Amino acid sequence: MASEAVAERRSAGHRLAGLFHGRERLQVGALLAGPVGWLVIGYLGSLALLLVAAFWSVDPLSGATIKEFTLENFEALVDEPVYRDIVWRTVRTALLVTLTDAVIAFPIAFYMAKLASRRGKALLVIGILLPLWSSYLVKVYAWRTLLSANGAINWALDPIGLHGPGYGTTAVWLVMSYLWLPYMILPIYAGLERIPNSLISASEDLGASPFTTFRRVILPLGFPAVVAGSIFTFSLTLGDYITPRLVSNDQFIGNVIFSNVANNQPFAAALAIVPIVVTIAYLLVARRLGAFEHV
Amino acid sequence: MRRRDGNPARAAWLVVAGLVVFMLALAGCGGGGSDTTGGGSSDEALQKLGKGEGEVSLISWAGYVEPGWSKPFEQKTGCKVNNKEAGTSDEMVELMKTGQYDGVSASGNATARLVAAGLVAPVNTDLVPNYKTVFSDLKDQPYNTFEGVNYGIPHGRGANLLMWNGDDVKPAPDSWDVMFDPKVAAKYKGKISVYDESSYIADAAMYLKFHQPDLGIENPYELNEEQFNAAIDLLKEQSANVGEYWSEAAKQISAFAGGDVNVGTTWQYQYFALKEEGVPVKASPASQGFLPKEGATGWSDTWMIAKDSKHPNCMYEWMNWIIEPKVNAEVAEWFGEAPAQELACKETENKNFCAEYHAEEPDFWKRVYYWETPLADCGNGEEDCKDYNDWVKAWTTIKG
């Protein structure tokens, strides 16, 4: 009896194995069905539904959606100059933060990849990852306290007769650059570490000065990694709305979406398309710059 | 292999194009018409109270449903209280749309929307014995009674405060001039704290009602194009002097405590929290006992019952419980607002409480403009007033 059952079970397993044997497509299909299904239905599907709403309108009183095709949300978006200002402010800050982070991150990543001892490297990685363990809100509120009129920055600058930036656009730039720096350092570090040391030695042997080696060898090989990191810093800044809210009076795209989402979802959805379009454009540029090669 | 030779970029574009077509198709044939309903009659209200269903799910402002009075309620009625706190009126409306809740403590800027969206049912006040002794100037108001049908039980009311730092702002202001009059406000440039919500437009309209009577503003929530634009212009002018717009109470508390702002509009919660921290804040009416001369915006909250409530009997029990004299006194003192129940004034721990909060002075409340939902129809039959969505959009342009 028992051995019969085992045999039967084995044969069921065998049959299943036989089904997959030699059928590459079926194997891959079975492996990926779950994750791809989730991606398409749960992720892209809900995104598509959100964006569909951008072409609907809303009953002003009840907030109920009127499901008829209209372009009025997009017209409002284009006609009202304040939205152009807000989009431009958001994109400008995202670019500025990205540039700042790239300039700060490159030397740190280079030191970690090529110069630091094993121990030093480990310490630096921990140091960079550590802030990611604490809550985003805690970090922003900490900056809010630092930048306050009676805060630590003004206290430190006061003896030399200077003033901190206070709350405002500069504060947003500072805080965002701080928040997203690890997302820039880590990809650059990974990219630079893959550059063989022999290439650097070869460049030196051929008589290049350290600066020329940096300019002609390290920078071109490391650049795709910088672009990869910039995708994080750029898109994270583009989507953030809590930092602007807490350290300035500036409105970002996310703030306007937030204030409309409760009573006018279609308009909020139309606004949400803006960062999606900007990000797609940015990704296309990034691809041109080689961010997705050798990944 | 053949498959790998395909151009991935082209494939990606095909996916994007497919999604766009799919979206447009969906948007186009979403079917006509909205599912708005509205207007009810008192027949729809519960006619007879039955046995409790064992639980009740509430949406409330922070501080309205606390163990101090919800536990005794559970013991007395056997209705277990599930409470969900909401931070804004918009959030309350959103939560009510889920259909999972039996009732909500709605402010006036949510009630009309809830009724229009058909999310709440009329209330049969005969089934709420304590309703008889609710202050009469809270009954049958435009924010709780629609077309003569009663939609809720008043909970309590308060005025938004003008708060200032007593060390920096002298003499004590008796008017909103400190925030709105360009000459006076310039003294506090960069130190003014403003509530970051479209409903603040009503504060500007209230100021104009007093200072520019020729605009003909009656109700600061019912503004025609000209009146609305005047209020928006005033707010744009003000924005040059604003130090910070606040939406979370914690943000305003830290700004006052850190010296970033020294005068602004606030709620009792922040005022008491700052006093506790030792910040020398003063506020009218809370510490000074008077309203600024223009009056003030404020709130009058109403417990409403969901149209498809699964526990209507427990909800009625709750609505009666929350205006029980002793309970209403407890809530009012905990939260810092005037009680809705007349008899609550005898039950407060602080015997002067009702006097301090002007609970029994109808004349005081005549100058408080409770939050309302701005509607296109402001009663003149012309539908020419600015509605809530106009207010939200204008608020974005004010901050720039």
Contact call for A260 and B399, based on CB within 8 A: no
- The answer to whether ipTM exceeds 0.90 is no
Question: Going by C-beta distance under 8 Å and a sequence separation of 6 or more, which residues neighbour residue B349?
Answer: B329, B333
Same domain? For B276 and B316 the reply is no
* Cβ of residue A144 closer than 8 Å to a chain B Cβ: yes
Span B67-87, pLDDT tens digits: 999 999 999 999 999 999 887
Determine the longest span between alpha carbons in chain A, in angstroms.
93
Same domain? For B46 and B139 the reply is yes
Contact call for A67 and B31, based on CB within 8 A: yes
Residue B174 has pLDDT above 80, yes or no: yes
**Partners of residue B384 in chain A, C-beta under 8 Å:** none
**Residue of chain A nearest B119, judged by CA positions:** A62
Instruction: Give me the pLDDT at residue A3, please.
Output: 56
Same domain? For B69 and B191 the reply is no
Question: What does the domain layout of chain A look like in residue ranges?
Answer: 2-55, 72-288
Residue B306, domain member (yes or no):
yes
CA-based nearest distance B73→chain A, Å: 32
Tell me how far CA of residue B165 lies from CA of A132, B203, B214, B361, in angstroms.
37, 21, 34, 28
Domain that holds residue B176: 159-297+377-399
Residue A27 has pLDDT above 60, yes or no: yes
Q: May I ask the CATH class of domain A72-288?
A: mainly alpha
Question: Cβ distance A187 to A229 under 8 Å?
Answer: yes
Q: Of A52, A23, A80, A26, which is closest to residue A269 (Cα–Cα)?
A: A52
Average pLDDT, stretch B272-279? 91
Instruction: Give me the pLDDT at residue B39, please.
Output: 47
* Cβ of residue A25 closer than 8 Å to a chain B Cβ: no
Question: Going by C-beta distance under 8 Å and a sequence separation of 6 or more, which residues neighbour residue B232?
Answer: B201, B204, B394, B397, B398
Q: Of A111, A51, A295, which is closest to residue B22 (Cα–Cα)?
A: A51
Task: Report the number of distinct structural domains present in chain B.
Answer: 2
Contact call for B93 and A63, based on CB within 8 A: yes
Contact call for A61 and B258, based on CB within 8 A: no
Q: pLDDT class for A10, splitting at 50, 70, 90?
A: low
Residue B187, domain member (yes or no):
yes
Q: pLDDT class for A278, splitting at 50, 70, 90?
A: very high
* Cβ of residue B94 closer than 8 Å to a chain A Cβ: yes
**Residue of chain B nearest A150, judged by CA positions:** B258
Q: What is the CATH number of the domain that holds B197?
A: 3.40.190.10
Question: Going by C-beta distance under 8 Å and a sequence separation of 6 or more, which residues neighbour residue B183?
Answer: none
Contact call for A262 and B116, based on CB within 8 A: no
Contact call for B113 and A63, based on CB within 8 A: yes
Same domain? For B282 and B389 the reply is yes
Same domain? For B281 and B381 the reply is yes
CA-based nearest distance A120→chain B, Å: 39
Span B84-99, pLDDT tens digits: 988 788 889 889 989 9
